[in-house]
Structure 1
């Protein structure tokens, strides 16, 4: 875990995830809107504990860097995000498992978290490629990825069976090292833009 830094932004802090964060996560994690497009459904404290424990096992294996998202003004946990499928030999990772309490949707905090993660990924870890994927029906997420300069690469058909039994096709995007300067500028502009009203 010493490998995972605290990433400080203007409004959010990304803190390395630990089991100590469970009480804070429990206050925000049990909203069905968070998990609507994800291949996992978190309904109970036990589900959440297993989800965190799995992230920490993958962290210990060296393939995942999990953070909790903290609202700095209140020092309050409001979500989570991570790098996973981290391949240091090929300098690639996927950014995902990202969610925020619906109270903060549309407030620009996700853009700031992505700016923090991607800056760390490209400028500290030396990544060459960061992948992102989303549910084929999650058009809002796809639009947000395009807005920051991520390039759509295609879809994995029948990629997941969702908790309700439906099929999910995953739409894949990537940001590569050559794209990073433009993506960084776009994210910085979004983060420094007019602050939306408080949720």
Structure 2
């Protein structure tokens, strides 16, 4: 199966639904109270949510991204977004990124459960060779979460991007390889059982 194929992924904690413009109001509600951090892009205004959806849909149409909304199963609330991005179908590589979660979903089982779904889909359905995860050098919360998943540090892309404020972003690159997936899966499953 191709990484960009739109489909619903679900487990006991979350459901990932293909992103559409119909999710806009629920995404605005999910982003309420979040500050736009300088190291991450969270759409916190009506215009930003609309632009974010249009960007993700455009990249999906071009085959470079597969965007989902994250729905918490316990109450049916949309609590954020995530994607397969930088899709390299030929080399069976993909990145999980462009992820944000609303305040009510942070520090809960939601992120672990969503990553469990995405990684299983990548490795078990799409036959991925490797899955990347990237974050800003200064985003310590994201770096810690990626490391808890069991991803290995590949390196740092120094001065990788020019940020909207003109500063330079160092991007930390992690990956999980196909042969590492069974151990990562066990770790995620154990964390979800404890949750």
TM-score > 0.5, shorter chain as reference: yes
- Give the corresponding residue for 2:15: 13
Divergent runs of 4+, >6 A: none
* Residue range with higher mean Cα deviation, 120-129 or 2-11: 2-11
Compute the TM-score of the two structures, normalised by the length of structure 1.
0.90
- Give the corresponding residue for 2:107: 106
Q: Distance in 2 between matches of 1:34 and 1:114?
A: 23
CA apart distance, 1:43? 3.8
CA apart distance, 1:143? 1.9
Compute the TM-score of the two structures, normalised by the length of structure 2.
0.92
1:46-67 deviation line (CA, Å, top 9, x unaligned) = 1111111111111111221100
Secondary structure of 1:73's partner?
coil
- Give the corresponding residue for 1:63: 64
The 5 A counterparts of 1:17-56 are 17-33=19-35, 35-38=37-40, 40=41, 42-56=43-57
Are the structure 2 counterparts of residues 101 and 41 from structure 1 closer, same or farther at C-alpha, using a change threshold of 3 Å? closer
Q: Distance in 1 between matches of 2:122 and 2:36?
A: 25
Q: Distance in 1 between matches of 2:150 and 2:172?
A: 15
CA apart distance, 1:141? 1.7
1:98-141 deviation line (CA, Å, top 9, x unaligned) = 11102221112100000000000110011111111111111222
* Residue range with higher mean Cα deviation, 172-181 or 152-161: 152-161
CA apart distance, 1:167? 2.4
The 5 A counterparts of 1:16-165 are 16-33=18-35, 35-38=37-40, 40=41, 42-165=43-166
CA RMSD, 1 decimal: 1.7
CA apart distance, 1:164? 3.3
CA contact (8 A) 2:32 2:102 kept: no
Count matched residues: 192
CA contact (8 A) 1:63 1:84 kept: yes
Structure 1 gaps of 5+ residues are none
1:16-75 deviation line (CA, Å, top 9, x unaligned) = 11111011001122444464422x453421111111111111111122110000011221
Structure 2 gaps of 5+ residues are none
